[in-house]
Amino acid sequence: MDKLEIHGGIPLKGEIRIAGAKNSALPIMASTLLTTDTVKVGNLPHLYDITTMLELLGCMGVESIVGEKLGVEINSGTIRHFNAPYELVKTMRASILVLGPMLAHFGEAEVALPGGCAIGSRPVNLHLAALKKMGADITVENGYIKARTKNRLKGAHIFMDLVTVTGTENVMMAACLADGVTIIENAAREPEVVDLACCLRSMGADISGEGTDTITVRGVERLHGSEYSVMPDRIETGTYLIAVAATRGKIKVKDTRPNILEAVLSKLEEAGAHIDIGKDWIALDMKGNRPKAVSLTTAPYPAFPTDMQAQFTALNAVAEGIGMITETVFENRFMHVHEMNRMGADMKVEGNTVVVNGKEILKGAPVMATDLRASASLIIAGLMSENQTTVDRIYHIDRGYECIEEKLQLLGAKIKRLPS
């Protein structure tokens, strides 16, 4: 199992380009199942999850041609069966996104429960309830969701009990080929949902209201091929900005979108960062100063994103003052706190809040990543620390960050990958 070795204490400085958003790319790749024409998807990030989605489509007979310039051509006209096996689904929860489009286009789908999860404890049950309301016959047996529809799905009024991004996306895709109008209330407002809607519209879908909590989809007879470029990754953007702020450095990130990062940029300015923005770039300069502690509460977009919580926890570890970070979206998302305390941080978890008393500097130590964003936070902690830090289990980081050690090296970091 690969590790990252970091020699910290160096202010990061330089320029990097941001990759395409994984959380936008995966539903867009799933949406290619809605047409038998070829769909060209550009600006894909080089990530393990992207490869897994291509494998998942390929195992069902869908043909794809990977191009040289971060793009792929996908044609589902060659699909042979409609089973998404557990061996692939277990590695990536986003696999559930093939359920809606397959059911709407081909009338059947059999998808393993993601990660073998208990169906009541995750939003998967919201996907199934919505599709049932649209006329699907769904059973769950032997760890698989088995869905059928005799005719086309029917438009319906769907109210999501919880705001769920993948649930909104699954229903939105299914509704594109349903008879009649589907209204999704309490819909997710995330930019990645908007990006999927724009892609579906380029394929001939009739969608309005994306970016608000009510999305309206008028079903059409068929969708056609298209060419679409995935939006830049806002979480990758924020992660590098925080890493530079925590190390008192200076950076310019290119090929990004400042207008979807307002909550994060506001907290970085509160931490003492000087920020300038352009249409597709963000510049941050700490002027060599130690960051100031920030307090925040995560919530669905446009509020502060849960996927940036761990990184700000790391920044607070070396900030002036006391910061309180409250997590309202996911449970058990403070697993990085124990590892940072091993590096000399002063953090205490109280319910769904972590109280961080900033220290001047952390001490390097061997640490273990538990999930994707926790991995990023431990790398940031290592970059801020004296001595050497080794981050184990970095297969998590490869699921969401393209070439992270190479990009950090461009900023002057002393970081290298150690093969297992």
Beta-bridge mates of residue 74:
39, 64
Sequence-ordered list of residues with C-beta below 8 angstroms from that of 259, at least 6 positions apart, any chain: none
Contact between 273 and 250 under an 8 Å Cβ cutoff? The reply is no
Number of C-beta neighbours around residue 120 at 10 A: 7
Number of C-beta neighbours around residue 184 at 10 A: 25
Write down the catalytic residue from 117, 176, 199, 403.
Answer: 117
Number of C-beta neighbours around residue 326 at 10 A: 16
* Side chain identity, residue 161: D
Stated as kind and residue range, the H or E segment containing 88 is: helix 86-89
CA distance 34 to 15: 39
CA distance 105 to 176: 9
User: Residue 403 catalytic?
Assistant: no
For residue 152, give Cα distances in angstroms to 157, 279, 284, 390.
16, 42, 51, 53
149 DSSP assignment? -
Cα–Cα nearest to 199, from 174, 176, 228 = 228
- Extended beta strands in 123-273, E state: 137-141, 144-148, 157-159, 181-185, 206-208, 214-218, 226-229, 250-254
Number of C-beta neighbours around residue 227 at 10 A: 14
Whose tokens are 């200076």? That residue is: 250
CA distance 42 to 47: 14
CA distance 255 to 153: 39
Contact between 404 and 396 under an 8 Å Cβ cutoff? The reply is no
Contact between 219 and 192 under an 8 Å Cβ cutoff? The reply is no
Side-chain half-sphere CA neighbours of 218 within 13 A: 4
CA distance 105 to 108: 8
**Residues with a known catalytic role:** 117
